[in-house]
Structure 1
């Protein structure tokens, strides 16, 4: 075995230390097995050896529900579920991705314009990331990339597998062809561009930033071209809690109109003042014009604006609570965020639904089991998808058992905060 080969580097103590940092001591054995499996898959698929391993994590939103697209504040964290890839450059002019369980995907680097038929596909994200990096100066003209991927980020889980995928693609291209020239925040912006322009989803920048930067991050999007990102410390275990993401059983693939209604209605509020987003408008100005705004934009739009203004304050206060080590204050703010999302933002139950309210039932069930301890709130976009719960460690086993008895086996994901974002492992 060559001394400098990937296989040789995977046997070193340094590589084991890297895996331990990302997945924890309890996840080390599984991480080693995944690395070996994805390396073997690469060799079988491409009949050559990979040059490196890469990883990009899923993310969880801790605070700031639907504030990022209003240039607001958020609190987010990378988690220990990720997309892992074995990769090597080639000179074919093609990016070839083999994701476990899916057909081989091929993207021609000579064709870097959006394709209508690729919208809402992974190929669109690959093409979009490559197009943006090429436009910024990354020399991809004679490049190419082969990669095999495995993922522990459940699709549709609210942990943002799409952002992890974008960050993974950007990290690989940045390392192989650009000497690591772009920062994690810049790679996040590249991923957002791919999702907005090529994939066709008008997302904010929170998901990509959390996945790319890693750890717990407080982000201020007042200037979206230069967001202010601060990494914070949060040891959930030391605070006696675990973080759970609960699958409500309601997907969100058909809820694009519901998500769009939030930005559309907030836009209607802003247009009354000649502004584009709420962050550009003082809350006092909004409050002083409430009668006119209600008549023009409607009451739900007004309530959603109330949520965003208050949620920006909460996100700032949550970050401050973590800086001060006041976990009890942080949990109370999480509870307040959940109440605001349900009452004012109204992103828990899809419009007009009565018989099926899976996410609200999930939240009610969690609150009943927690009995006033911990915290639970809607997670991410809402309407379907997931809830997030901070669960006392002494209650964790019972919580998982009781929620899965209602929601189904495997519906309660216990996750840990990962200190590292998109990265080259070896």
Structure 2
């Protein structure tokens, strides 16, 4: 970036060039004029830089980085990571079809999730995926039956629930004993013995994932110790483990959050792994949000400003169907004017969308100098926004653009009402 560009915190490729907000070398105002709003814009370089931090942390190790595609499953994003040599962490047959469509190596695909269907199991076996992360003892039995019927042995690891508090929002905590994910720590050895006895399974590893938007190293260290203890116990019971899958969950900077850098976190973890004699093992990790979250911006137009007795409202054309995180998690996203020119009338606003729900808000109590027709940029919108978008209120999903330097590529056309109605039948 040129010297007169001022990067925003946590987002070195999203910055102002004078009064204009840019993604890499592309003006968000120009992109909004070309493609309309709401509009998602992503920085390719930001994603590659985030990936490079993990690659530095794993330098010299036998490791596989699998992008957890539920964070953002758009084909243009998947292709960036496939071309960078990543594997993929999937949670459905639909996600499997998406990664195969961009040329992903099936041997680098990990299938997670608590509710895999028999059809999805058959689909993944036919594709030749690298591993199933199994999350219940009944799933072991079903997968063995499906694989044996296909004349195969499914490669499996078992997801262990270590009962570690990730210190994050309860909706995105996955490693506590009250969560639905994984098999309880104290049943792990028994579950592995059972898996090893089944004719349709081939045990290859152990898996652990404790949550999302984790901003401290200590939960990872606690989970690591418990997993390494289990590796010793499982192998002492006669079941060999070829890889250790440590999941993802590393947070990003939404509002002054200070998660450890990926390379620093993994150097810290490997210091402990080496001290315990496990450094020669193959490691798999599954980052999602930390690879795409801060790479994305949602550009939205101000429709109206509305004074109220208790609140001032800034009504924009993006809504909870485009940006569901605030409604779902009470999540914070920074909101910046696309142009810093202003009107000299800054006020505190609740930024809200047009959906008919009181929960349809994007940001509360934001000091903004805006009028109808202005553009706002909702930051840190690369993860769990478009992938969770819906058609609530029969709203069309937004367009998406991928920026690389001074080049912008449309990677999703704006949905039309014809797209929404195509598969519906009115009946008699």
Please say which structure displays the higher CA radius of gyration. 2
TM-score (norm 1): 0.27
Report which of the two has the higher share of helix. 1
